[in-house]
Structure 1
Amino acid sequence: MTWDILNIIGTMAFAISGAIVALEEEYDLFGVYLLGFVTAFGGGIIRHVLLGLPISDIWNQNMLFTIAFITMTLIFFIPFHWVLGFKRLWGVFFDAIGLASFAVQGALFAKMAGYPLSAIIVAGVLTGTGGGMIRDLLASRKPLVLHQEIYALWAVFGALAIGFGIADTMWQFIVLIICIVVLRMLSVIYSWSLPTRFDWLMQLKKLKR
């Protein structure tokens, strides 16, 4: 049940995120479906490839494909823009839900398969960010994972919580997902960022003075 719930939440959130990006770029219906599907399932495909697992497992998720299809169809045909306005914050919000759900799910997948902590972290990060990276590349955007604002680090945080057994029950998974979403939104709202080489060089110059 835990696995199915995380799958459904992540799939719906990333399908909405991909559809919103497609609508912002004024793509047609096919473009909406394409970006929505690659966002929802791209991370899982990358995870399976790197962990040496059969890709056929992804294609057998008929229920999730149906959920993603219905979700994207509703986003395209129902005028949600009256409420959402396609503002960047809404896109970031749904992307954050997908990031959190799939990061936790990917880490759980690797842990249950008996992989070490390093693989759990990689599986969590790539499952949480892989679909978004493909979406942004197809939309000719700079991938969120490469932005200065903190993004992939929250997926690492979730994977570590799974790897060290801090989150081990359904309710703990839910709390962990909420924490990741809140931290991701705060990092966007308050422009939290990791240091760059330029920041480091500027600090050195200040110290020399």
Structure 2
Amino acid sequence: MTWEFLSIIGTIAFSISGAIIAMEEEYDLLGVYILGIVTAFGGGAIRNLLIGVPPSTLWDQGTFFTIALISITIVFFFPNNSLKHWDKWGNFTDAIGLAAFAIQGALYAIELNLPVSAVIVAAVLTGCGGGIVRDVLAGRKPLVFRKEIYAVWAIVAGIILGLELATDTWELYALFIIITALRVLSYTRNWELPNKKLPQNM
């Protein structure tokens, strides 16, 4: 039940972020719904394809789809009320979603007895894949690759779980808290990975 609650928070945060970007790009109502749904579920769908889980299992998440649709509807029709405090709590709920989804994605791969590399990929795709697809569909450079330390925390979760450094229930919850805290610290303290820009005259 706790993981379901955390997943609900993540679903709400991801679907709202997709809807916000669609509205910023002046997409119509259909575009807002599609981008919101893709952000919330796109990563899981790609993960399923890569690790051999039947894609149809995505449709078993009826409750989460309903929650995402309701969230997108509220944001679209009542943006002034629903987004008033988004800057304050949006990043935090997104951090919860990243941690919960990354851990769940890694556990999916572990259940299939896949190697560590697959566990890491599953964690990253589940936690970040939807946001990457969202940015591509919106015609933007994926945020996770250029500005903020985001996908790194999903990689960390995948490595820890893939190497079986956290297996008990309490260890999984501890890992969730750590990943969430690291993500919060990375955006509050403006942590960034090194980057290199090539000279334009090359």
Fold-level similarity (TM above 0.5) = yes
**Match in the other structure for 2:100:** 101
Distance 1:17 1:183 in 2: 20
**Match in the other structure for 1:39:** 39
| SS at 1:193 equivalent | coil
**Match in the other structure for 1:63:** 63
- Which whole-Å deviations, capped at 9, do the CAs of 1:77-117 have from their partners, x for residues lacking one? 33223333xx4x75544432322111111001111121121
CA RMSD of aligned residues (A): 2.4
| SS at 1:65 equivalent | helix
**Match in the other structure for 1:202:** none
**Match in the other structure for 2:133:** 134
- Give the 5 Å matches for 1:1-209: 1=1, 4-78=4-78, 79-84=81-86, 87=87, 91-197=90-196
Distance 1:170 1:71 in 2: 30
How far did 1:3 drift? 5.6
Gaps in structure 2 of 5+ consecutive residues = none
* Residue type of the alignment partner of 2:185: L
How far did 1:75 drift? 2.2
| Aligned CA distance change for structure 1 residues 73 and 170 (closer, same or farther; 3 Å) | farther
| Aligned CA distance change for structure 1 residues 198 and 74 (closer, same or farther; 3 Å) | closer
What's the TM-score, normalizing by structure 1? 0.81
Matched residue count:
196
Say whether the 8 Å CA contact 2:11–2:40 is kept in structure 1: yes
What's the TM-score, normalizing by structure 2? 0.84
Say whether the 8 Å CA contact 2:92–2:184 is kept in structure 1: yes
Distance 1:60 1:113 in 2: 19
* Residue type of the alignment partner of 1:54: P
| Aligned CA distance change for structure 1 residues 6 and 189 (closer, same or farther; 3 Å) | closer
| Aligned CA distance change for structure 1 residues 7 and 188 (closer, same or farther; 3 Å) | closer
Say whether the 8 Å CA contact 1:145–1:151 is kept in structure 2: yes
| Aligned CA distance change for structure 1 residues 3 and 72 (closer, same or farther; 3 Å) | same
Say whether the 8 Å CA contact 1:21–1:91 is kept in structure 2: no
Gaps in structure 1 of 5+ consecutive residues = 200-209
Deviates more, 1:134-143 or 1:9-18: 9-18
- Which whole-Å deviations, capped at 9, do the CAs of 1:9-66 have from their partners, x for residues lacking one? 3322211221222233343332221111000110011101111221111123222211
Deviates more, 1:123-132 or 1:139-148: 139-148
Distance 1:83 1:7 in 2: 21
Say whether the 8 Å CA contact 2:13–2:90 is kept in structure 1: no
